[in-house]
Amino acid sequence: MNLILGVHAHQPVGNWEGVFEWAFERCYGPFLEVLSRFRGVKVAFHLSGPLLEWLVANRPSFVERLGEMLGDGRAELLGGGMYEPILAVVPERDAMGQLEMMSSFLERTFGVRPRGAWLAERVWEPHLPKLLAEAGVEYVFLDDRHFVCAGLEESELVGHFLTEHDGRRLSVFPISQKLRYIIPFKDLDLLSEHLRGIDGAGIVFDDYEKFGLWPDTYEWVYQRGWLERFFELLSEGSIRSFLPSDWIRLNPPRGLVYLPTCSYVEMEEWSLEPRRALLFRELLDEVKGRGEGPLSLVRGGHWRNFLRKFPEANRLHKRVFWVSALVEDMPEGEERRKAKVEVYKSQCNDAYWHGIFGGFYLPHLREALLKHLIRAEAIALGRRSLVWTFDGDSDGMDEILVVTPRVGFTLAPSRGGALVELTERSCGVSWSNVITRRKEHYHLMAERRERAISSAAEGGIATIHERTFELGDVELEEDSRPRLFLSETLEGQDGLRVSLEDVRMTPHFLDEFSFQMFPRCRNPLVDLGFSHKSVSLVDMSLIIKYHFEGAPRVPLKARLSFSLSVSSRDHLVFRAGGLSVVPGLDGLEVG
């Protein structure tokens, strides 16, 4: 019996120091401590760039011990994008740059260049073999889901395959979903039974955090001794552990495959709109009763759907492309290198998506990416100011971007000249780091009580995918409109209510930082006597005026709604005359 075992560890850019420390004490450190006692066990590791930088700076003994295992041939390191981007959706130059940055970092730290690479969230698109091969990558790990969706049988997925794009070849290992759900959650008898039925190698490369951070796993893996027994089993010799490079050297590939755009099956569910995701889950449950074969014919969404599902993530994603191009045009030198690193950090995947994992709803992760993006932009532009008209979210409508050394903002003429983004560039703060309240598919699920499924017959504990959690009697409020930094509504008599966001406007440029926006056609605003809207930047003041032709024809109320990001207590948020709003421990202080 053969096993290729790997663990992937990641902490996102911008995560709290305490999370790094907690994860190390309960997971990363104890796992390596136990493994180091079993010299016959071989494990592949992928440590993401943010975590690896933290380990080098804060836990050098861990790095030293891992280096010793590498030298003894007991471990192998995989590279990847330095700051854990989804490689398929960042500019190709940045993908290549991140792969090289990670490989160079590993070579400086451990004295070896990686042969394999980890793909964040195993997001695969068919053009990747060429990019990876040109970056010096020889192999990657993907899910068995990719392979069965390409028409292969599950029984075939017991070794590595070859794929190619434009003549550039790459080895790919299929990760077994069954083994992902067995290790470390079930008794070892079930693992042995599964491996006995494999003519080749069982392949599992999954989250390091399963060994101590996932619910109940610290007690199960360490205090109740599962990990110790697991490595004892591998040391006995009935199950041989292999490093990926050794397996490729000793065994021929299983054939040529062409894999579709794909990730693990859970991602196909999470990336769908709520009602479609719920339908997909119900369909999977129905088809599971008919065996493994039909499951491959049921397909859900893919990672790029998050850019449609979350417009806030889409705007950030498109802004990264724009800033990356600015940085690319800089002259060679240290400033350009610094700016590129800031761009790379803004591409860390977590804040762009949401599932059981993902960090879109975590404001400190979004804030960190925005801060790094603002820094990259500031380095690239220096003291220059810029006014740029471009389609900043790929919706077919142009926005107006204004950037000065101290402030930046974006106007959307197609949405009534709405102010959709405001940044204070001098301190790297985005005041518009807010998101729309929306339902996810788990809000629609009929089952609301907490349920941890752990099969008593098989023994073990539940995986994080086998748990549901009670929402309780919480009133879930959903926004009827996307949250913008500034939303404007005019209210008249007899319930008349007009949102400027519904009115497409044509912009006219008065000077560098002054604009007028006129309604494109007759609409309820015109009936109210509205003429146009003007926006001017004067020093650090953004002046917005609403113009009417003569007196309004009916009594009007103007409702201005600001959505301010207040995630950092040490920032001044808003000041107007003698009024200031400052975040505090118990909310906002107004004075």
pLDDT at 313: 97
CB 160, CB 173: distance < 8 Å: yes
Spatial distance between the Cα atoms of 497 and 493, rounded to a whole number of angstroms: 9
pLDDT-derived band at 579, boundaries 50, 70, 90: very low
- Helical segments of 76-223, H only: 92-110, 128-134, 144-148, 177-182, 188-196, 217-218
The confidence score (pLDDT) of residue 237 equals 86
What is residue 472's predicted lDDT score, i.e. its pLDDT? 61
pTM of the model: 0.91
Least confident of 63-67, 233-237, 241-245, 253-257: 233-237
Average pLDDT rounded to a whole number, residues 311-321: 97
Answer whether residue 571 shows pLDDT above 60. Answer: no
pLDDT at 292 over 70: no
H/E stretch holding 390: strand 386-390
- Asked if residue 318 has pLDDT above 90, the reply is yes
Q: Which CATH number fits domain 385-446+482-591: 1.25.40.80, 2.70.98.10, 4.10.320.10, 2.60.450.10?
A: 2.70.98.10
Q: Residue 127 has which token pair?
A: 């053009």
pLDDT band at 474 (very low <50, low <70, confident <90, very high): low
The predicted pLDDT at position 297 comes to: 85
Residue 176 β-bridge partners = none
Percent of the chain clearing pLDDT 70 (strictly above): 90
pLDDT of residue 466: 62
- With bands split at pLDDT 50, 70 and 90, how would you rate the model's confidence at 567? low
CA angle 501, 505, 506 (to 5 degrees): 155
State the pLDDT confidence band at 464, using cuts at 50, 70 and 90: low
pLDDT tens profile 94-134: 999 999 999 999 999 999 999 999 999 999 999 999 999 99
The pLDDT of residue 568 is above 90: no
Check pLDDT > 50 for residue 179: yes
When mean pLDDT is compared across 25-29, 83-87, 286-290, 460-464, the lowest value belongs to: 460-464
Residue 540 is encoded by which pair of tokens?
A: 């650090």
| Range 462-471 burial, b when 16+ CB lie within 10 A, else e | bbbeebeeee
The whole-angstrom separation of Cα 348 and Cα 538 is: 35
Q: What pLDDT is recorded for position 454?
A: 40
All structural domains of the chain with their residue ranges: 2-263, 265-301, 312-382, 385-446+482-591
- For the chain, the 3-state helix, strand and coil shares in percent, each to the nearest 5, are 40, 25, 40
Section 401-420 average pLDDT = 94
Tokens representing 542? 């953004």
What is the C-alpha separation between 193 and 231, in angstroms, rounded?
A: 16
Indicate the range of 369-383, 492-506, 548-562 predicted with least confidence.
548-562
Q: What is each CA distance from 419 to 39, 399, 416, 484, 564, in whole angstroms?
A: 60, 10, 9, 7, 12
pLDDT at 427 over 90: no
In angstroms, the CA 238 to CA 229 distance is 14
Write down the pLDDT at residue 583: 44
Q: How confident is the model at residue 554 (pLDDT cuts 50, 70, 90)?
A: confident
- Categorize the per-residue pLDDT at 587 as very low, low, confident or very high, splitting at 50, 70 and 90: very low
pLDDT tier for residue 285 given thresholds of 50, 70 and 90: confident
The overall average pLDDT reported for the chain is: 90
* pLDDT (average), residues 148-155: 93
Residue 590 vs residue 266, higher pLDDT: 266
Q: Is the pLDDT reported for residue 329 higher than 90? A: yes
Q: Which pLDDT band, with edges at 50, 70 and 90, does 473 fall under?
A: low
pLDDT at site 359: 92
Is residue 567 packed enough to be buried (19+ CB in 10 Å), middle (13-18) or exposed (0-12)?
middle
Assign 539 a pLDDT band (cuts: 50, 70, 90): confident
Q: Which CATH class is domain 2-263?
A: alpha beta
Residues 6+ apart with CB under 8 A from 103: 79, 113, 114, 135, 136
Mean pLDDT calculated for residue range 87-94: 98
Number of H helices, E strands in the chain: 20, 27
pLDDT over 60 (residue 573): no
Least reliable range by pLDDT among 88-92, 189-193, 247-251, 560-564: 560-564
Which residues are the active-site residues? 121, 207
Q: Above 50 in pLDDT, residue 589?
A: no
pLDDT band at 201 (very low <50, low <70, confident <90, very high): very high
CA 493 to chain centre: 46
pLDDT higher than threshold 50 for residue 450: no
The listed range with the strongest mean pLDDT (284-288, 295-299, 413-417) is 413-417
Q: Report cis status (omega within 30 of 0) of the bond before 184.
A: yes
Least-confidence region, from 40-44, 96-100, 155-159, 538-542: 538-542
Q: What is the mean pLDDT of residues 175-185?
A: 95
